[in-house]
Structure 1
Amino acid sequence: MAATFDYDYLIAGGGAAGLSLAYHISQDPRLADKRVLLIEPETKNQNDRTWSFWADAPTPFDGIVAHEWEQIAFRSPQFEQVFKLARHRYKMIKGLDFYNFVGQTLAAVPQIVRVQGTVEKLEDTPTGIVAQTSVGTFTARYAFDSRPPQFQKQPDKYRYLLQHFVGWEVETTHDVFDPKTVEFMDFRGEQQQEARFMYVLPFSKRQAFVEYTLFSAELLPKAAYEAAMREYLRELGVTEYQIGYEEVGAIPMTDHPLASAAGRHIINLGTRAGRAKPSTGYAFKRIQAHSAHLVQALATTGQPPANLTGDQWQFGLFDTLLLDIMQRKGEQTRDIFTEMFTRNTPERIFDFLDERTSWKENFQVMNSVTPWPFLRSIAHVLRGRPGQRVAK
């Protein structure tokens, strides 16, 4: 006799990953009869973040893209160039636009129920799951868990850094920005033994989102990010400006293994499943690919795919090597990206970071950078211990 469940799918968490999976389920007619419970700890009614990504094909969210660009600029003391994008466009989506769009879509699908609450415990059973939550106990055939990951750090085995940043949406009193060009990475500032760069999304000649970003293990005092942005604007000749929206964030960047599942019927999503790329922090498009991958299998076989993420091991190794370099000598990150942009097109770099490149293309990218830092990191990987900065 088949087991009876309250729901077919239970989704824990209503952030980007949980909402994206619910959206993809709602768009597949083969899953139209599936009952879905989405439990989210808070109502998403504020513009609490933005997501940026590059794409060379239509996405489900093109209708809510706030801005897109056809050029990117890379800058370092040794090399500066503005690249005209061929296949790709760089795009930005505001968090509130995403929440509203997905919310309106899900509201029209009666089999998808949204409840405000917290998931306290997920138990895998031989036939499904039992969820203990702040709003009751529920059963489902499968649970998809997008809650923040929790794990015990093992710094003698793995690397733990953060991509941390503070960004301002600024409006100036005179024309400053090029609205066609994203300042993708501006490494011209002092690195201070870390990877530090400015990132600018211009919306018009007088309005832009300006962000100071670091790849390192420790956060800075907030005033330090703000000072760097003020100095950057001064160097552009900007002395008068208004600050509107502010964004502050810290994204874990680690090669600590993040399981794709917590049992036969509990599948992890988002950061919990390692969907924030360890070497860059980009997550939005990886979350969409993961959601589509899961839904395709659910619709065709009735169960999740055997390979839950579709990840390829060699790209995980590349991430580990770059994290190792960032951890023991972060200032070398600037040189590595300078060599990559000097000797590769943005299209090849984007494909490489999207993990879409062939072995030949992977070799071309890796052969374009000085090998010694990577050879040292390979040695650290082989001995099973992360590299550490040696004090002078």
Structure 2
Amino acid sequence: MESDFDYLIVGGGAAGLSLAYAIAQEPRLQHKRILLIEPQAKNQNDRTWSFWTDEPTPFDGIVAYEWSKLAFRSPGYEQVFAMKQHRYKMIRGLDFYQFVHAALQAAPQVTRVTGTVESLENTAAGVSAHTSAGHFTARYAFDSRPPRLEKDLAKYRYLLQHFVGWEVETDHDVFDSTTVEFMDFRGEQHQEARFIYVLPFTSRRALVEYTLFSAEVLPTAEYEAALRSYLSETLGVQQFRIEAVEQGAIPMIDHPLPARVGQHIINLGTRAGRAKPSTGYAFRRIQAHTQRLVAALAATGHPSEDLTGDKWQFGLFDTLLLDIMQRKGESTRAIFAQLFQKNPLERILFFLDERTSWLDNLRVMNSVTPWPFLRSIGHVLRGRPGRR
């Protein structure tokens, strides 16, 4: 096996595989040699990715489910919205892995190696990687390993979006298979932001998740009690079967995550801040980042100077919401209720995608009670996070 490559991709998750696939599909990069180093084979359905989009994606062929309506619910306001420009979609992890692996298997310029990267360093000519599978060099490295952070609690905000989800099946019709329950805030908040999220696959089968925004995960029994309460008391379901379980915790932080390390090491995925700090959604942001990287490589041979295209104002909005969640998480419910009550759904989705104009940003900010945000702006200006 050759030890010198054009592109070295570290990690075979959503970010690493998306980039490897996109490079292999780009005709202008067909001659580039790609090394993909994965710590282990991805051959299980270890996660699902859900996202909304108003345009085709490279992975539409493996979308497992798609919805045209979205529901928001809180004690004082609830509404089911028909999506006009967008569709909400779900991709199963195993389908994604198998699809990309098959494409890479057919691409002769791609080499896949099982191993872990022990060190990754910039050199004058590119990068040098010492791995458990040997030593490799490349012109550029793209690193999707989870970031290792030394927390600075006096300066930044560190929360988690954590959840337990049950894929359940009932004996009678319960779910509206056309409608995603995007946020159901009708349950107790316990001084945090807590809601139920439901992806209905049929009228009798759905993924039901209990999701929280807070600093610490809960004992598993607390998630399970909330799920049982929702199914029995809110939906009136007494008998159901749990067909699958998923559990996770996504960092929601405003700690800076650099887009690159030196001249030749480019960060990907959560390492590059692609999980949106205020929502945890990452899949579409990973795809946008991938498209930006590949377009620049194909056009110029080099990544662009502005690797992500992120706009500072959306980073500020994320920090303000994280600050509110950290010091008074239960107020998050009212903020989202105001957003959904006073804005068209498409504006909210474009805002969360960081694609709105300055005018629409002002409309969104003017739709919510200003005091919590003004207080958090004060914390940002003083350079310290808010506390309860």
Q: TM-score, normalization: structure 1?
A: 0.98
Tell me the alpha carbon deviations over residues 338-391 of structure 1, each in whole angstroms, 9 at most, x when there is no partner.
0000001111000000000000000000000000000000000000000000xx
Tell me the alpha carbon deviations over residues 174-205 of structure 1, each in whole angstroms, 9 at most, x when there is no partner.
11000000000000000000000000000111
Structure 2 residue aligned with 1:253: 252
* SS of match in other structure, 2:108: coil
Structure 2 residue aligned with 1:192: 190
The 2-side partners of 1:293 and 1:112 are apart by 20
* SS of match in other structure, 1:350: helix
1:12-23 residue pairs with structure 2 within 5 A?
Answer: 12-23=10-21
Structure 1 residue aligned with 2:146: 148
Structure 1 residue aligned with 2:109: 111
The 1-side partners of 2:59 and 2:337 are apart by 32
The 1-side partners of 2:5 and 2:280 are apart by 33
Structure 2 residue aligned with 1:272: 271
Structure 2 residue aligned with 1:180: 178
Tell me the alpha carbon deviations over residues 295-343 of structure 1, each in whole angstroms, 9 at most, x when there is no partner.
0000000000110111000000000000000000000110000000000
State the AA in 1 paired with 2:135.
T
CA contact (8 A) 2:174 2:203 kept: yes
CA contact (8 A) 1:74 1:185 kept: yes
CA contact (8 A) 1:185 1:197 kept: yes
The 1-side partners of 2:118 and 2:66 are apart by 39
Structure 2 residue aligned with 1:208: 206
CA contact (8 A) 1:36 1:113 kept: yes
The 1-side partners of 2:236 and 2:171 are apart by 11
Structure 1 residue aligned with 2:71: 73
CA contact (8 A) 2:191 2:329 kept: yes
State the AA in 2 paired with 1:35.
R
Tell me the alpha carbon deviations over residues 34-75 of structure 1, each in whole angstroms, 9 at most, x when there is no partner.
000000001000000000000111111111000000001000
Structure 2 residue aligned with 1:122: 120
* SS of match in other structure, 2:64: strand
CA contact (8 A) 1:5 1:141 kept: no
CA contact (8 A) 1:297 1:304 kept: yes
Structure 2 residue aligned with 1:373: 372
Structure 2 residue aligned with 1:322: 321
Structure 1 residue aligned with 2:287: 288
Displacement after TM superposition at 1:263 (Å) = 1.1
Structure 2 residue aligned with 1:354: 353
Displacement after TM superposition at 1:5 (Å) = 7.2
Percent identity among equivalent residues? Answer: 73
Structure 2 residue aligned with 1:89: 87
Tell me the alpha carbon deviations over residues 282-306 of structure 1, each in whole angstroms, 9 at most, x when there is no partner.
0000000001100000000000011
Structure 1 residue aligned with 2:239: 240
CA contact (8 A) 2:165 2:210 kept: yes
CA contact (8 A) 2:43 2:94 kept: yes
Gaps of 5+ in 1: none
State the AA in 2 paired with 1:279.
S
The 2-side partners of 1:375 and 1:56 are apart by 33
Gaps of 5+ in 2: none
* SS of match in other structure, 1:143: strand
Structure 1 residue aligned with 2:305: 306
Tell me the alpha carbon deviations over residues 93-149 of structure 1, each in whole angstroms, 9 at most, x when there is no partner.
000000001011111101111111101110101220000100000000000000000
Displacement after TM superposition at 1:244 (Å) = 1.1
* SS of match in other structure, 2:20: helix
The 2-side partners of 1:120 and 1:353 are apart by 36
CA contact (8 A) 1:187 1:196 kept: yes
Task: Give the RMSD, CA atoms, in angstroms.
Answer: 0.8
Structure 1 residue aligned with 2:168: 170
Structure 1 segments of 4+ aligned residues over 3 angstroms from their partners: none
